[in-house]
Amino acid sequence: NFGNTCFMNSVIQCLVGTKPLTRYFMRGEWRSHLIQDTKEQSSSMVTEFAHVVERMWRGQFSFISPAEFRSAVARCSEQFNGNDQQDAHEFASFVLDSLHECLNHVHPRPLPERELTLDEELQFEQLSDAQQSRVQWDAYTRRNKSIVSSIFQGQIQSRLTCMACQHTSTTYHMFTELSVPIPDTSSDNSANGPALHSEPQPIDIYQCLDAYSESEILDGDNKWMCPVCQTKRTATKRLMIARLPLVLIVHLKRFSTVGHFREKLEANVQIPTMSMCLQKYVTFGAGEQSTLYNLYAVANHFGSMSSGHYTASVSDGLNGQWNHFDDTRTSVIHESQVTTPAAYLLFFVRTQRGIE
């Protein structure tokens, strides 16, 4: 830990615990995919990440110091240049985005697709969800193909529905991590009269996913300009998963801004370590592959935003043993100790259909 870099250590442990990613770097495949005219700072970061993976998996040392990787990250991003505590979710997103850009097989990239005309959009809406998803995913992969896209990236469907004429407008976008809200489940603690305080009630990950995918009413100033009605209309908006990734990263939105202050939600979200089912949250046709996921890594955040500390819990994947990493300290923990109120970033791997 170089001052306040535990956020980096916890993310590295989770990423190195991702077996397909580790195999890719250990086999040296990244060398042939590294884009030669990538900015020197970015390619240096990829190289140093590969060195971290190799040193960790060779097992020659009880711990390593990723100083060169940290320096390479600092040269690429002003945000992570310094000794201030940073958000592990933002750091994980930065690392994965950087790896994707530097290791993209599609080079040079073709121009982005042009926007659809109104007639083309109306024709697009006649397609099934599965057909729409495939069209948009093919358009994305024509410009993007990397180890990151093959492991971590999925696809979200966003659908607007006019409540007057039922016309729909559907768009799709890629995601690398799913940021889900934690519902407020506080209840009054007193039986009579006004409560002096409230206590958070137990919730589970499915309630978070419900809150993410529930329909939102767009009304008032947020009314939608319906292209069929030719006027602003009340509409619904809903997000669904159209394509599931091999590895699903779920970000629990524990931090919220209230006025000038950031608050942390300490809710203990119940998270299954085996067979989390996402069937309810995928579009029709997206469930052709398994919708079951097993948890294999967790980045934990303890304390407040300004003075917090990050650790990681990672399964070795062989005998089901879970290890807890706290900078240079490691310990074996029981599976029941993996998910706590500190759980912040969750790493799941999709199971084979019919196999738990």
Report, as residue numbers or ranges, the catalytic residues.
Answer: 6, 309
Assign 3-state DSSP to the chain and report helix, strand, coil percentages, each to 5: 30, 30, 40
Cα distances (Å, whole numbers) of residue 348 to 190, 271, 275, 299: 39, 11, 10, 12
The residues facing 225 across adjacent strands are 232
Distance of alpha carbon 196 from alpha carbon 190, whole angstroms: 8
Alpha helix positions (H), 113-160: 118-124, 129-141, 147-151
Q: What are phi and psi of 313, to 5 degrees?
A: -120, 125
E strand or H helix at 226: strand 224-226
In eight-state DSSP terms, residue 11 is H
Using an 8 Å Cβ cutoff, are 160 and 224 in contact?
A: yes
Q: What are phi and psi of 163, to 5 degrees?
A: -80, -5
Which of 274, 292, 268 has the alpha carbon at shortest distance from 354?
292
Cα distances (Å, whole numbers) of residue 259 to 90, 161, 212, 255, 256: 22, 33, 23, 13, 10
Helix, strand, or coil here: 5? coil
A 10 A CB-CB count for 333 gives 13
CA end-to-end distance (rounded Å), the chain? 37
Which of 10, 21, 1 has the alpha carbon at shortest distance from 298?
10
Q: What are phi and psi of 133, to 5 degrees?
A: -60, -45
Using an 8 Å Cβ cutoff, are 349 and 278 in contact?
A: no
